[in-house]
Amino acid sequence: MALILDGKRVRDDILNELKPRVSRCFTVGGRAPGLAVVLVGNDPASEIYVRNKVKACEELGFHSVKVAPPDTVSTQDLLGVVGQLNRDPKVDGILVQMPLPKQVDARRILDSISPEKDADGFHPINVGRLVANLPAPRACTPAGVMELLRRSNVSIEGKRAVVIGRSDIVGKPMALLLLHANATVTVCHSKTPDLAAVSREADILVAAIGRPAFVRKDFIKPGAVVVDVGINRVAERNEAMRIFFTDEAKMEEFDRKHSLLVGDVHPLEVGEASAYTPVPGGVGPLTIAMLMANTVALAEARLGL
């Protein structure tokens, strides 16, 4: 029986470990860590993410700022919003929720965030520090995966790791973090020949491509650890039936909710893995936990702690 890697348990452990550090910011530094979230427009999924981030801030006692420009905002106006937050002494971390409207130059916006307030770890300077394995905020989802593996006693050093996906947000930083932990890393993508065969070489397989149930059993070496970063909402019954045709409980859930969350790994075909992350409840809870951890670290640095 494969071990289920419980992201909720690890999230709770990380948040509990942050509480005394937040208290120290109060007692020694004179204020709470501050996180500003910029949410442009009314995208429902983004609104849920931001709501959960604000809730986590409140539970930890953070100073929380939410800025919500309209979806007609220009690049120049949004640069002005970020500039104000860069100058705000109560703000230690800034997060601009993606995606941004088409008329906004997302790269210019992310690059305008001060590297010392880059809670997401996306600024080129912080990416460069990741490449060099120097201290800096790390991209939250890959950092969360590393915490999940370490706290679940998954050995990384000397292992063969395969990352499916090369995005700047997950795939590339994930590969670098595994490399710094002394894994031998291969990054795969849409142009990789015989993707299943390369994936089968992995002791640790990370799927981060945004395609529901794409990774099947022929991708997974028996005994591998499978990390599913994907969170895909399936809203078509035929698609849900294709994935869960033998799982009556899941189909009943689909009929109640009219949608299901599905990872990039086929949920019924991980049986020969030694351990895997479920969707939901695996990697997802750790993203916000690592955002909180990044913000606390940025606050400590700015307060001289």
Give the residue numbers annotated as catalytic, written as ranges. 53, 97, 120
Strands (E), the chain: 3-4, 34-38, 63-67, 93-96, 160-164, 184-188, 204-207, 225-228, 232-234, 260-262, 275-276
Listing DSSP states for 161-214 in one string gives: EEEE---TTTHHHHHHHHHHTT-EEEEE-TT-TTHHHHHTT-SEEEE-S--TT-
Q: What radius of gyration do the chain's Cα atoms show?
A: 20
Report residue 267: phi and psi, to 5°: -65, -15
Question: Could you give the CA distance from residue 132 to residue 138 in angstroms, rounded to a whole number?
Answer: 12
In this structure, how many other beta carbons lie within 10 angstroms of the beta carbon of residue 272? Answer: 13
